[in-house]
Amino acid sequence: MERPSDLSLPNTEPLFSFLPLADLPFLVQPAAAAAAEAAMEKPHAVCVPYPAQGHITPMMQLAKLLHCKGFHITFVLTEYNHQRLVRSRGPGAVKGLKDFRFEAIPDGLPPSDPDRTQDIPALCDSITKNCHAPFLRLLQKLNESGNPPVTCIISDGVMSFTHKAARELELPVVFFWTTSACGFWGYFHYLDLIQRGYTPLKGIYVHMLLSY
């Protein structure tokens, strides 16, 4: 009688095949699902500065701080400023990161010399009239991508169209004032000055206005 140690199996395919642990579905799927769930839960702030350097810089500083705290950031420039940034610093300037993206919307003004400052009064008027629709479409696009959906809007205090878009999509909006506290105080009292009849300035006060 043969001993068990002398027995041999025919030369056939292995009865069992072993997968690496990393390839086992029941181990991979929970990890992937957890990562996807974490991405969906990550707060996503859309930052919208007024298109001037003195507004873009402080908004960018705030966006970087929020990004360091775990926020997904979408930083929205006008197409004019987006193109100027690419022209001066190259495409890498707006490449961003996986969770810090740059987007652009039109300001409604006709094309102009990228080396010159835009007409500020015309820009303010155009932004008020023309930016709401493209901004709303951008928010819808970001939400449809779902990676992650928009959770809040951080808007420059003078970009009032963002409030209308936020209300339509039922998103919270925070207005960020980029000027000094003294400048904010002046804007805050506009209505009071008008109601008291102090503006527009009249008589002897007119010559006190700065020429610029």
Rounded-to-integer distance, Cα 92 and Cα 95, Å: 5
Burial class of residue 70 (count of CB atoms within 10 Å of its CB; 0-12, 13-18, 19+): exposed
By three-state DSSP, how is residue 16 classified? coil
Note if 82 is an active site residue.
no
Active-site entry in 44, 55, 82, 132: 55
Q: For residues 135 and 106, is the Cβ–Cβ distance under 8 A? A: no
Antiparallel, parallel or unpaired: β 44-48 and 100-105: unpaired
**Is 113 noted as a catalytic residue in this protein?**
no
- Encoded tokens for 194: 């008008």
Catalytic residue (one of 99, 107, 156, 189)? 156
Position 188: which residue type? F
Note whether 76 and 101 are within 8 A (CB): no
Catalytic (active-site) positions: 55, 156
